[in-house]
Structure 1
Amino acid sequence: MTPSNSPAADFPDPRVTANIPAAGAVLWRYAADGAVEIALVHRLKYDDWSLPKGKLDPGETPVVAAVREVAEETGIRSRLGRYLGHVTYPVTGHRKIKRVDYWAAQILDGHFESNAEVDVLQWHRVDGLMDALSYPMDRHIVRNFLRLPPDTATMLLVRHAKAGRRERFSGPDDERPLEKAGRAQAAGLVPNLIGFGATEIHSAPPLRCVQTVTPLAEKLGVDIELEPQFSEAGYAAAPDAARKRIRDLVSDHAVPVICSQGKVIPDLLAWWAEKDGVTLPAARNRKGSVWVLSVQQGRLVAADHLDRALNPTDIPR
């Protein structure tokens, strides 16, 4: 999954496009004394120390792959948070370029056991961590991680999936349902939103918004709370109420998903970003896309946009 604010990749040859997508994470935890520790893995095949990562399986997105690879290499189940950028490098012996997208990842549960790929996992404090890593590219990702506090709260802001054209629907617009492509988008969102630890769901009342998050609600076994402030009509009537509500929904103990509409999300995010001094990446806010918002002590500190790469048939570029 390639957020639209990805830093420029360092291609060995600008004429060569990355054609092996991969994903990984900076897996972190708090030590008993409150210090941050980061997991490094030792890979037998390469005799190196690196961040957990691996290639995408067919039909995967980078988000899903990052969570899976962390679990396979470390035995630890995690949830993703802030996007940390990507690195690119040539694959030895092939005219191919690998691209690895990285996220911060917080531990949920599990424990390490030696496996076919990784024989040792070590937790390192920041001091000495850079010297322990085998590759400069991993150091670059860790530096991105350390630029902000690790324990950011996550909020997922979703634009509803495809619902056809308004002029082609004869009923009230709020009753316009998802079309076939939109239903596929809604189903595809489920594993990606779960990858960020989604726990609760809020939606503007229009049917197409509710239907976008219904598969996720069914998967999680939770109800959808209707939020009129996040509909186009509700936002136009009382934007300050929506701005207060989205900030009130930030939680250190839950990961809320909010489904809203195209005339709400850009203005709502522009207000929040300006208020807290965050530069938003360029984004088209297409239907079915997701904003991953990172909040620390009530302040928006990062906003990553996930668009076409939510489609598992897309290869990150």
Structure 2
Amino acid sequence: MPNGDLRDVRAAGAVVTRKGGRKEWEVLLVHRPKYDDWSFPKGKLDPGEHEVTAAVREVAEETGLDVRLGPALAPQRYRMSSGRWKHVDYWTAKVVGSDDISGYRPNEEIDVVEWLPWEAAMTRLTYPHDRDTLAEARPLRRRTHALLVLRHGRARSRGAWRKDDRLRPLLRLGEVQAERLVPLLAAFDVTSAHTSSSVRCLQTVRPYVDTTGWPTRVYDELSEEHATAEGVVEIVDALLHGTASALLCTHRPVLATVVDALGLPDVELEPGAMLVVHHRKGRIVATEVRRP
């Protein structure tokens, strides 16, 4: 997915949906009094912030609702009144917990938050590019789960490591990558970690499982030394047909087998990057690659 020009103003947000009282799909919109417009909850990235983290944070700040992300939507890029270009990354999203907005307190930035039926939301939106985004979100509105295929963080050089390669640890950069993965994995509602038994993979998932308390399952079958096509296929198939979002952490040489087991084209991941596979009832709905 394109990341826009480095000079762009970067922002992120979400098209948050739910089923209403009559099982009619509804969309969450916000009104900004400064511009007198209706749009999706979104906002600028903080310095150094990841777009995934920003999307969840901005929805919470603007609506009071906690969300988890579904499939990504095409980014928007448009010129602002200042003349600068703005790049906005969007995802579909579902609320975690209560979606009641009756207690929302208006403020100078957002004075109205409202759930609207799909067609009413399409009419209410102020900008054509938002209506395009809503149309794109419609076939992706049903809840999905995510399988996050993660390449471990940056590790010590293989050539300089004289001990058992399974014991080769992360560099400090890799440790930082692992720490910064915590809010990204939470944004996709990961509730279990499945990892190679090698130290560099265990170190990559540890900050998340230590923070959340979610269980970890360790597999020799995901390590470079013991991976087999049959073993990888069995693990991937079980996760793809699961009813919760999960993390799978492995190594570059094993990634091709994982991706092949998913029936996807080859994907190159740098250390700390992840392939996000959105699935529903065993069927892959969408994929995206996110850098660390």
TM over 0.5: yes
Contact 2:241 2:281 in 1 (8 A): no
| 2:50 is the counterpart of 1:61 | yes
Q: 1:289 corresponds to which letter in structure 2? A: A
Contact 2:11 2:44 in 1 (8 A): yes
Q: 2:224 corresponds to which letter in structure 1? A: E
Structure 1 residues 17, 176: closer, same or farther in 2, change over 3 A? closer
**Structure 2 Cα separation of the partners of residues 220 and 229 of structure 1:** 25
**Structure 1 Cα separation of the partners of residues 268 and 239 of structure 2:** 25
2:75 corresponds in structure 1 to 86
Contact 1:40 1:49 in 2 (8 A): yes
Deviation at 1:252, TM superposition (A): 6.3
Q: 2:274 corresponds to which letter in structure 1? A: V
- Aligned to 1:168, which of 155, 160, 171? 160
Contact 1:162 1:178 in 2 (8 A): yes
1:192 corresponds in structure 2 to 184
Figure out how many residues of one structure are paired with residues of the other and give that number: 288
SS of the residue aligned with 1:128?
A: helix
- Of 144-153 and 101-110, the range deviating more from structure 2: 144-153
**Structure 1 Cα separation of the partners of residues 205 and 193 of structure 2:** 7
2:230 corresponds in structure 1 to 240
SS of the residue aligned with 1:147?
A: helix
**Structure 2 Cα separation of the partners of residues 149 and 179 of structure 1:** 40
- Of 18-27 and 139-148, the range deviating more from structure 2: 139-148
Deviation at 1:247, TM superposition (A): 2.3
**Structure 2 Cα separation of the partners of residues 89 and 270 of structure 1:** 37
Larger RCO: Structure 1 or Structure 2 (Cα < 8 Å, ≥ 6 residues apart)? 1
| 2:88 is the counterpart of 1:104 | no
Q: Which runs of 5+ in 1 are unaligned?
A: 10-15, 275-279, 311-317
Instruction: Give the TM-score, by structure 1 length.
Output: 0.85
1:49 corresponds in structure 2 to 38
Structure 1 residues 117, 83: closer, same or farther in 2, change over 3 A? same
1:302 corresponds in structure 2 to 286
Contact 2:92 2:141 in 1 (8 A): no
| 2:110 is the counterpart of 1:118 | yes
Structure 1 residues 125, 270: closer, same or farther in 2, change over 3 A? farther
2:270 corresponds in structure 1 to 286
Structure 1 residues 227, 33: closer, same or farther in 2, change over 3 A? farther
Contact 1:163 1:208 in 2 (8 A): yes
Deviation at 1:175, TM superposition (A): 0.5
Q: Which runs of 5+ in 2 are unaligned?
A: none
Deviation digits for residues 102-135 of structure 1, max 9, x if unmatched? 0111101354312331111221222333222111
SS of the residue aligned with 1:76?
A: coil
Structure 1 residues 267, 167: closer, same or farther in 2, change over 3 A? same
1:256 corresponds in structure 2 to 246
**Structure 1 Cα separation of the partners of residues 10 and 33 of structure 2:** 22
Q: 1:257 corresponds to which letter in structure 2? A: L
Identity across matched positions, percent: 35
| 2:142 is the counterpart of 1:158 | no
Deviation at 1:182, TM superposition (A): 0.7
SS of the residue aligned with 2:108?
A: coil
Q: 1:256 corresponds to which letter in structure 2? A: A
Instruction: Give the TM-score, by structure 2 length.
Output: 0.92
Contact 2:67 2:96 in 1 (8 A): yes
The structure 1 segments of at least 4 consecutive aligned residues displaced by more than 3 Å after TM superposition are 250-253
Q: CA RMSD in A?
A: 2.0
